């Protein structure tokens, strides 16, 4: 597809916001047609802004996946939630996602109140419609539209892809006129080493329970292209305590081995190269208060 003549081109930023677990990352991946943001059944999976780029007709749509908005407790939570609110400042369209099965919850209420101060056009996206009967969707649409001035309501299933094309074509008509900002074949602006670290973090979230995923972070330390066309990747998993390190390793190293195998397969598929993945688990007490870790995650470090 050729880039349209300058006068026809459109380009805009679309922020996907919502409470944790409503399906923002799943929707981003569906919109872009490729897995660039990690997804798990757990809340607070996404930690920083992830951009995904799609072309729709004459428009380049730059979607911004954001961390879920909730009442933050830790410094890391504040950084995550702050980055989500910040995404709305630069957006041409803000899409509020609601989990249609759960309906409006406490976190959604806080977001609805905050939306009143947003200058960008806002649209409502009811997600997970595969789990809900139609009458409930209509009632939810009506109730939410009484709460905020949404330009449009979309009903989608990010998981099945239902409704995603309609959402995209509406956006293509409504982002501002202007030249494309990214090369037309680019779908993400995240460096591969960041994507690789996120994939490993996804596997940690899927394997570990309770607080452990939230008290860990992953960084790619080494990325070495080998002569045979494969890549050697070394990553460090930081945890808070020795007891957590033991859990991540598992009996005889079984847990880390399983995490590594799952991550390696996904990273290799994502970068289309054979991968040798080496994982190291380090205890770094208080990493959640270390500015360097925030830089690595692409988050601003909150002073308090």
Ligand X SMILES: Nc1nc2c(ncn2[C@@H]2O[C@H](COP(=O)(O)OP(=O)(O)OP(=O)(O)O)[C@@H](O)[C@H]2O)c(=O)[nH]1
Contact set with Mg ion (CB under 5 A): 24-25, 45-46
34 sits near ligand X (criterion: CB under 6 A): no
Chain positions 62 to 91 lying near ligand X, rule: CB under 6 A, are 67-68
109: which residues sit within 8 A by CB, 6+ positions away? none
Q: Dihedral, CA atoms, 154, 156, 161, 163, nearest 10 degrees?
A: -40
Q: Which is nearer to ligand X, 12 or 23 (CB)?
A: 23
220 binds, among ligand X, Mg ion, none (CB under 5 to 8 A by kind): none
Q: Which stretch binds ligand X (CB under 6 A): 22-30, 167-175, 239-247, 279-287?
A: 22-30
Give the residue with the Cβ less far from ligand X, 157 or 244: 157
Q: Can residue 25 be called a binding residue for ligand X (CB under 6 A)?
A: yes
Q: What is the DSSP string of the chain?
A: -PPPPTTT-EEEEEEEEESTTSSHHHHHHHHHTS--S---SSSS---S-EEEEEEETTEEEEEEE-PPP----SHHHHHHHHHHHHHHHT-SEEEEEEETTT-S-HHHHHHHHHHTT--SEEEEEEE-GGGS-HHHHHHHHHHHHHHS--S-EEE--TTT-TTHHHHHHHHHHHSPB---SS-TT--B-S-HHHHHHHHHHHHHHHH--TTGGGG-EEEEEEEEE-TTS-EEEEEEEEESSHHHHHHHH-GGGHHHHHHHHHHHHHHHHHHTS-EEEEEEEEE-TTGGG-HHHHHHHT------
Radius of gyration of the chain (CA): 20
User: Closest distance between ligand X and the C-beta of residue 45, in Å?
Assistant: 4
| Minimum distance from residue 25 beta carbon to ligand X (Å) | 3
Q: Is 122 in the site for ligand X (CB under 6 A)?
A: no
Q: How far is the CB of 243 from ligand X (least distance, A)?
A: 25
Q: Is 41 a binder of ligand X (CB under 6 A)?
A: yes
Decide if residue 166 touches ligand X (CB under 6 A): no
264 in contact with ligand X (CB under 6 A): no
Q: Which is nearer to Mg ion, 10 or 24 (CB)?
A: 24
Q: Is 23 in the site for ligand X (CB under 6 A)?
A: yes
Instruction: Point out which span in 41-49, 146-154, 180-188, 276-284 binds ligand X (CB under 6 A).
Output: 41-49
Q: Is 22 or 95 the residue whose CB approaches ligand X more closely?
A: 22
Among 11, 22, 53, 281, contact with ligand X (rule: CB under 6 A): 22
Residue carrying structure tokens 């139609």: 134
- In the bound complex, what is the minimum distance in angstroms from residue 43's beta carbon to Mg ion? 9
236 binds, among ligand X, Mg ion, none (CB under 5 to 8 A by kind): none
**Of 10, 11, 13, 45, the one binding ligand X by CB under 6 A:** 45
Q: Are 97 and 27 in contact (CB under 8 A)?
A: yes
Q: Does 46 bind ligand X (CB under 6 A)?
A: yes
Joined together, the tokens standing for residue 49 give 């802004």
**Residue of the chain from 102, 159, 174, 284 that contacts ligand X (CB under 6 A):** 159
Binding site residues, ligand X, CB under 6 A: 18, 20-26, 39-41, 43-46, 67-68, 127-128, 130-131, 157-159
């Amino acid at each position: 597809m050729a880039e349209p003549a300058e006068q026809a081109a459109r380009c805009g930023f679309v922020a996907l916001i919502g409470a944790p677990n409503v399906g923002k990352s799943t929707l981003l991946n569906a919109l872009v047609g490729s897995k660039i943001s990690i997804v798990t059944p757990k809340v607070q999976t996404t930690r920083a802004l992830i951009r995904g780029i799609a072309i729709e007709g004459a428009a380049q749509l730059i979607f911004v996946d954001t961390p879920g908005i909730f009442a933050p407790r830790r410094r890391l939570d504040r950084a995550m939630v702050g980055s989500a609110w910040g995404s709305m400042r630069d957006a041409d369209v803000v899409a509020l996602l609601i989990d249609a099965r759960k309906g409006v919850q406490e976190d959604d209420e806080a977001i609805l109140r905050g939306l009143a101060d947003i200058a960008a056009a806002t649209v409502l996206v009811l997600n997970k419609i595969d789990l809900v009967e139609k009458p409930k969707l209509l009632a939810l649409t009506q109730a939410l539209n009484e709460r905020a001035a949404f330009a449009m309501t979309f009903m989608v299933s990010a998981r099945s892809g239902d409704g995603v094309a309609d959402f995209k074509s509406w956006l293509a008509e409504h982002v501002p006129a202007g030249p494309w900002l990214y090369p037309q074949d680019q779908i993400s602006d995240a460096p591969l080493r960041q994507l690789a670290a996120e994939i490993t973090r996804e596997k940690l979230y899927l394997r570990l329970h309770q607080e452990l995923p939230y008290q860990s972070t992953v960084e790619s330390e080494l990325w070495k292209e080998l002569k045979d066309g494969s890549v050697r990747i070394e990553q460090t998993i930081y945890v808070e305590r020795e007891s957590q390190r033991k859990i991540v390793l598992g009996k005889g190293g079984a847990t880390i081995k399983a995490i590594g195998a799952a991550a390696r397969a996904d990273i290799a598929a994502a970068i289309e190269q054979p991968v040798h993945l080496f994982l190291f688990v380090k205890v770094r007490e208080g990493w959640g208060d270390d500015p360097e870790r925030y830089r690595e995650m692409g988050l601003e470090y909150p002073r308090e």
